[in-house]
Structure 1
Amino acid sequence: MKAIGFKTSLPITEKESFIEFEAPVPKAEGHDLLVKIKAISINPVDFKIRQNAAKDTILDTPKVIGWDACGVVEAVGDEVTLFKKGDEVYYAGDINRSGSNAEYQLVDERITGKKPLSLTAAEAAAMPLTVLTAWEILFDRIRISPEKDKGKSLLIIGGAGGMGSIAIQLAKKIAGLTVIATASRPESIQWCKEMGADIVVDHRNLSAAMNAAGFNTVDFILDFVDTSAYWDAMADLIKPQGHIASITGAGTPVALNKLKSKSVSFSWEFMFTRSSFQTDDMQEQHHILNRVADLLDDGVLKHTLTTTLNGLTAGNLKTAHGLQEGGKTIGKTVILL
């Protein structure tokens, strides 16, 4: 099968930042599905892994990355009960396994969902990683309840990217929150509004922008951009007994003492935790993807695909990574095989 990977971490402009090669088709065993991939999408985690996984070294075998895909089940392992050959699926995979930048991939059935019937393969491939992350950060980490939290305020830092695009929708349509999103360009502001944001503010002077919009504090904050850069603003804007959650990590220790006087909770969200540690509730990701597939098919949620590239090539992966690294993408970029 055709696969695309890298042997060393290089700038995306370098010729061998991605290389095409032939690899054997893997065999499905246990809980694994062998999926013939139809489409993949690119997330910030892709370029971050590419930049750091093979620094100052040359791997013997190319590393294949990629954590969003839609495809058809070609074969199943002997412990599989959730899917059968011929089923269309979508998933975000496992960060510790070979990725989706290939014609075939193995993925555990417990972190795989049924493809939304109403979406094309490209539209479906745009969704899994962001859907799982946004769902988990809202409902598993902060534990927002539509019954008790309806009408409360949520600030989303990074509203127009793939993550913000679906988080706005889930927060508004499912949780019933008042959603404030950050964006600064006319096109990204408009996109956030189309996704359902009640208010859009400029991230460049966040506290002042929030105050000008009539919010001195908010109940919840999601950071999809840079924990360290926005930490002081988040500590300032969060309500007493509120909750902040982030996916971005921090290059330096986070000053949690800034939250102490307000009794504020803080959570990290990492979508790969369940698969990496084979947690007891690992199959919850299967259920989340299926629930979201139904919401997409019912028209409650809408896909976030904005850019489609045709063909699994090193050139297209370089283009997609370049767009992500630029930090100005709106929605999701997909490669159709």
Structure 2
Amino acid sequence: MEEIAPPLPTAGEVLVRLHAAAANPFDWYMADGLLAMYKITLPATFGRDGAGVVEAIGDGVTEFQVGDAVYGQADPEDDGTFAQYVVLRADRLLRKPKAMSFAEAAALPNAIYAAWSALFSPTKGLDLQPGQTVLIHGAGGGIGSLVLQLAKWRGARVRWRWRAGHR
């Protein structure tokens, strides 16, 4: 372990002082070398999901200000959130709701991006529209529970199963 100066954001990026980071299966797969399609440069800082406070903004960033509480996800090929500071692309950040802790917010990015893409992406997902019906298997897990909530928010009819015999 070594102490280094915080990185500096460039155009379109935000420097975040992290208060919480989350580990998810992606991080395990990356550490085990199972995601060879991503090119990382060693030494590397792993971790994709995190939440914290904006410390600095790069050129062109208008949606965030220093002091904003945010949560988001690092690009797989960039340094990650298992650090005190991380530079994240502004388009991979959201404002943290005041009612949510930093730890709760840090747990969301991987699951919410997967759920959102599965439901709403016209090229990779269902492109779910109001009034359509969606069946969700495994609605009790992280991604499944968010899929259920997002589908209801979109106005879809939701059928779900988390255990045999329940609906």
State the 1:24 CA deviation: 3.0
The residue number in structure 2 matching 1:126 is 107
Which one of the candidate residues 58, 64, 68 is aligned to 2:45? 64
State the 1:105 CA deviation: 0.2
In structure 1, how many angstroms separate the alpha carbons of the residues matched to 2:109 and 2:41?
A: 31
Secondary structure of the residue aligned to 1:172 is: helix
Count of matched residue pairs: 161
In structure 1, how many angstroms separate the alpha carbons of the residues matched to 2:106 and 2:2?
A: 23
Secondary structure of the residue aligned to 1:137 is: helix
- Alignment gaps of 5+ in structure 2: none
| Amino acid aligned to 1:179 | R
Structure 2 residue 66 is matched with structure 1 residue 85? yes
1:81–1:163 distance in 2 versus 1, CA, 3 Å = same
| Amino acid aligned to 1:162 | G
1:41–1:80 distance in 2 versus 1, CA, 3 Å = same
In structure 2, how many angstroms separate the alpha carbons of the residues matched to 1:160 and 1:47?
A: 22
| Amino acid aligned to 1:143 | D
Larger Rg: 1
| Amino acid aligned to 1:79 | G
The residue number in structure 1 matching 2:127 is 143
The residue number in structure 2 matching 1:169 is 149
Secondary structure of the residue aligned to 1:47 is: helix
- Alignment gaps of 5+ in structure 1: 1-19, 190-197, 200-337
Contact 2:27 2:46 in 1 (8 A): yes
State the 1:139 CA deviation: 1.2
| Amino acid aligned to 2:144 | G
State the 1:171 CA deviation: 2.2
The residue number in structure 1 matching 2:81 is 100
In structure 1, how many angstroms separate the alpha carbons of the residues matched to 2:8 and 2:153?
A: 40
State the 1:173 CA deviation: 4.0
Contact 1:73 1:86 in 2 (8 A): yes
State the 1:86 CA deviation: 0.8
State the 1:135 CA deviation: 1.2
In structure 1, how many angstroms separate the alpha carbons of the residues matched to 2:84 and 2:49?
A: 13
Contact 2:136 2:147 in 1 (8 A): no
Secondary structure of the residue aligned to 1:96 is: coil
Higher helix share: 1
State the 1:60 CA deviation: 8.6
Secondary structure of the residue aligned to 2:32 is: helix
Contact 1:172 1:179 in 2 (8 A): no
Which one of the candidate residues 22, 25, 33 is aligned to 2:14? 33
| Amino acid aligned to 1:177 | R
Percent of pairs with identical residues? 32
Structure 2 residue 5 is matched with structure 1 residue 24? yes
Cα RMSD of the aligned pairs, angstroms, is 2.5
Give the 5 Å matches for 1:310-325: none
In structure 1, how many angstroms separate the alpha carbons of the residues matched to 2:43 and 2:163?
A: 37
State the 1:22 CA deviation: 2.7
| Amino acid aligned to 1:144 | L
| Amino acid aligned to 2:113 | L
In structure 2, how many angstroms separate the alpha carbons of the residues matched to 1:176 and 1:35?
A: 36
1:76–1:63 distance in 2 versus 1, CA, 3 Å = same
State the 1:30 CA deviation: 0.6
**TM-score normalised over the length of structure 1:** 0.44
Secondary structure of the residue aligned to 1:171 is: helix
| Amino acid aligned to 2:152 | K
Secondary structure of the residue aligned to 1:21 is: coil
